Structure 1
Amino acid sequence: MIGRTLAGQSILIAVVCMAVDGAGAAMTGLPVHWPAGAALAVLVVVVDAALALPVRLSGWVATAHAAAVVVTAVVVRITVNLHGTGGHQISVGESHVGALVAGYRAGAWLRRWPSLLSLGALVVGMAASRCFHPGASVLSVVMVAATNALLPWLVGRYTTGRRAYIDELQHRSENERRDAEAAVEAAVSRERSAIARDLHDVISHHVSAIGMHAGAARLGLTARGTGDRVTGSLSAVEAASRAAMVDLRKLLDVLHGTSDGANQPGLANLDELVTGVRPAGPAVRLTVHGGSRPLPGSLDVALYRVAQEMLTNALRHGDGTTVDLEIRYRTDAVTVAARNGIGRGARVAALASDGRGLAGIRTRAAMFDGSVNYGPDESRKRWETSVTVSTGSLEGAS
């Protein structure tokens, strides 16, 4: 569609130039019955008709116009010298509309060197034609070459440069738009991953605790005189269920935008976390080394989730004995570590590749450039997991 429009416009421009330059050729003052006058009119019409050709031929079209301008001037001067003016006022082809358009096309559509060669041909042609004009001076020659060749060529180059600049701006704007969309998509993806990790930690921890308590209650029902144990286990199931619902509501509030996450738990809530785990069976010993201090909110929540996942792994894969949970505050770092016995049915290789649990711990530590270490001890009977995060560059964060 665009190609057809450009072709139609080229034909219209060629027709207008043919009419204007043809009339100009007839106005050179040569008698109409002279063969030279008719030949010039035909020449001008032919070269102007070439303006309808494809733009890739603009260099040849410009060269043809330059030659036509020179031929017109030479024919007029020779005819006048041979036959005189016959009382007519003779002018040497003052109409160069087609040559102007040809110069513009050469500047606008051609590449650097073909365009410069076309400009050279037009400048030489215009200057040479002016030299055949009576009373021509150096200044007039320069003015004709500049006005009829250089100026339209420069306008063409300017148009091309402006079009390229606009295209570059549009391309840059499109790239920026795509980059912005990609950034938004990446942010959404990261947020989804963070929410998925939180949901995994919350659900996995509380459901594991519920399962342990339910198992303890089932075993307690088979023995006599264990009413207190059954009641304690069922109470723990109820407490774990309520805690799960509270944590889920907090996460849903963040998703709905009704909370900024400020009410998320942190290391100060580890006592509550440990209290909820102890009735499930394993004895959890929480030890804090060094003076506890406030941490940036996001880091505080992340380390709490790490400790929560460590306890969940101990419930799922441990042997039900003591779980040691340690928090070590140092001047420029904080470490969360857990140690627990490996259950009889749990293989070390399976623990090391335990999908989402350890992956979630690694991801949370990586968010703060922290280090993660996990694996069995030398006896291969106890599992150790530790996360250390430097706080030197985070002290001013909120």
Structure 2
Amino acid sequence: MRDINGSLARQSLLVALVCLVCDVSLFTLRGPLPEAGWRGWVILGGAVVVDGALAGAARYSGWVAAGHAALFVAAPLLLCTCTGFVVGNNAGVLVAGYRAGAWLRVGPAVVALAAMLAGVGAGELLGGGRGSNPALIAISMAVSAVLPWLVGRYTTARGAYIADLEREAEERRRHEAEAIHRAVLEERETIARDLHDVISHHVSAIGVHAGAARLGLPQGESPVRDSLGAVESASRSAMADLRRLLDLLHARGDEAAQPGLDNLDELLDTVRAAGLPVRLTVHGDVREVPGSLDVALYRIAQEALTNASRHGTGAVELALDRRRTEIVLAVTNETGRPSPQRDGAHRGLAGIRQRVTLFGGEVTYGQKDNNWQVKASFPLEVP
């Protein structure tokens, strides 16, 4: 706002300066300054004052217009007996009329117009040469007073109309954005409700039945007991992830935080509890990564470990390499012998590929000897 006000002030000053130069030059070159004596200097000084007033605040536009009208009358009163009568504010009176029409309310603007009409009309009558021709006087009044005033009123009305259109468009955009936001929230609520109704009850039932079956077994170590314990642990982890997703869909702020690389240890503990040996190696300096990329890396590791537990036959190695310009995640598991991946694995790999592509990274996966490897790399901004 301060820059706009300064720009308007500079522009008003420039307009006033141009009017002053034009009026003073015209009066000096064509006016009766040498013959008029002190009268000529009075008119010239008045022109300097009223033209300089054009740089003033908009609220004084009516008084400035009255000053120009007064000078238009004073010039013939003081100079009409001198040769080569010329008024001292030919350019300034036009700008004063425009300002009065553009910057004043209807009442003060009409009063200013009336004052200018009276001043211009009286000046033409007293100036000689046009007093005997009413048509010329009317034309001069229209050109010097009415026309600039009308242009000012038109400019203000057009600016107000454009401002109304822009305001309506902005309100329409805001309403549309609010409608879209409400629709997204409603859709997220629907998805959250469906997830809760369709998935959470079944996952909870799996955990409850697994716990009941484990408690029903004889005490002591048993592969079946360990497997049921792994099922319980996996169901609890699934419910925790599901609650985080539901919180995210419900937009509950900080509680909606999704798991990231800091949660890898919990993920690996769950996988180990299911009977799959996993080793984690981390290389490079610890660097903070964007939150969305942090979640993507966790989900890729989760999907790769899930595939390894389903289709692998041996230990799994998870390697995280934090480099200066990229971060690389590799999951390698033994498969015993080369074999095509099942449909579930293909769907999981497609999800991994989509996540990597979203961040402009690269992903490779495939069989090499008796190992299957998934390797994803993501570019990082250099600090």
TM-score in terms of structure 1 length = 0.49
For the residues of structure 1 that align with 2:175 and 2:156, how far apart are their CA atoms?
Answer: 28
For the residues of structure 1 that align with 2:60 and 2:32, how far apart are their CA atoms?
Answer: 33
For the residues of structure 2 that align with 1:58 and 1:107, how far apart are their CA atoms?
Answer: 9
Give the counterpart letter for 1:186 in structure 2: R
The aligned counterpart of 2:25 is 23
Question: Pick from 120, 124, 149: which aligns with 2:114?
Answer: 120
Give the counterpart letter for 1:50 in structure 2: A
Structure 2 CA distance for partners of 1:130 and 1:212, relative to 1, 3 Å = same
Give the counterpart letter for 1:34 in structure 2: G
**Which structure 2 segments of 5+ residues have no match?**
219-227, 243-248, 250-383
How far did 1:40 drift? 1.3
The aligned counterpart of 1:111 is 105
Give the counterpart letter for 2:202 in structure 1: H
**CA shift digits 1:263-313 (9 cap, x unpaired):** xxxxxxxxxxxxxxxxxxxxxxxxxxxxxxxxxxxxxxxxxxxxxxxxxxx
Question: Pick from 149, 156, 163: which aligns with 2:152?
Answer: 156
The aligned counterpart of 2:47 is 44
Identical columns (%): 48
RMSD across aligned C-alpha pairs, in angstroms? 3.3
The aligned counterpart of 2:129 is 134
Question: Pick from 64, 67, 74: which aligns with 2:67?
Answer: 64
How far did 1:201 drift? 0.8
For the residues of structure 2 that align with 1:10 and 1:154, how far apart are their CA atoms?
Answer: 19
More divergent stretch after superposition (102-111 vs 210-219): 210-219
Instruction: Output aligned runs, 1:180-195, within 5 Å.
Output: 180-195=176-191
Question: Pick from 195, 199, 202: which aligns with 1:203?
Answer: 199
Instruction: Output aligned runs, 1:1-398, within 5 Å.
Output: 1-26=3-28, 27-29=30-32, 31-32=34-35, 34-77=37-80, 80=81, 85=82, 88=83, 90-93=84-87, 96-132=90-126, 133-136=128-131, 137-207=133-203, 209-210=205-206
Structure 2 CA distance for partners of 1:211 and 1:97, relative to 1, 3 Å = same
User: What SS does structure 1 have at the residue aligned with 2:137?
Assistant: helix
Structure 2 CA distance for partners of 1:203 and 1:71, relative to 1, 3 Å = same
Structure 2 CA distance for partners of 1:65 and 1:8, relative to 1, 3 Å = same
**CA shift digits 1:18-42 (9 cap, x unpaired):** 2222233342336445221221111
**CA shift digits 1:140-180 (9 cap, x unpaired):** 22211111111111111122122222222222222222222
Structure 2 CA distance for partners of 1:145 and 1:220, relative to 1, 3 Å = same
- How many positions carry a matched residue from both structures? 223
Structure 2 CA distance for partners of 1:141 and 1:211, relative to 1, 3 Å = same
Preserved contact between residue 43 and residue 88 of structure 2 (Cα < 8 Å) = no
For the residues of structure 2 that align with 1:92 and 1:167, how far apart are their CA atoms?
Answer: 42
How far did 1:209 drift? 4.9
Give the counterpart letter for 1:197 in structure 2: R
For the residues of structure 2 that align with 1:114 and 1:34, how far apart are their CA atoms?
Answer: 37
The aligned counterpart of 2:321 is none
Give the counterpart letter for 1:14 in structure 2: A
For the residues of structure 2 that align with 1:102 and 1:176, how far apart are their CA atoms?
Answer: 39
Preserved contact between residue 123 and residue 149 of structure 1 (Cα < 8 Å) = yes
Preserved contact between residue 117 and residue 145 of structure 2 (Cα < 8 Å) = yes
Preserved contact between residue 99 and residue 149 of structure 2 (Cα < 8 Å) = yes
Give the counterpart letter for 2:167 in structure 1: H
Preserved contact between residue 130 and residue 137 of structure 2 (Cα < 8 Å) = no
Preserved contact between residue 24 and residue 93 of structure 1 (Cα < 8 Å) = no
How far did 1:217 drift? 5.7
For the residues of structure 1 that align with 2:194 and 2:201, how far apart are their CA atoms?
Answer: 11
The aligned counterpart of 1:356 is none
How far did 1:105 drift? 1.0
The aligned counterpart of 1:272 is none
Preserved contact between residue 25 and residue 40 of structure 1 (Cα < 8 Å) = no
**Which structure 1 segments of 5+ residues have no match?**
223-233, 249-254, 256-398
Structure 2 CA distance for partners of 1:31 and 1:208, relative to 1, 3 Å = closer
Which protein is bigger by CA-based radius of gyration?
Answer: 1
Preserved contact between residue 75 and residue 86 of structure 2 (Cα < 8 Å) = yes
For the residues of structure 2 that align with 1:185 and 1:33, how far apart are their CA atoms?
Answer: 76
Preserved contact between residue 20 and residue 97 of structure 1 (Cα < 8 Å) = yes
Preserved contact between residue 21 and residue 96 of structure 1 (Cα < 8 Å) = yes
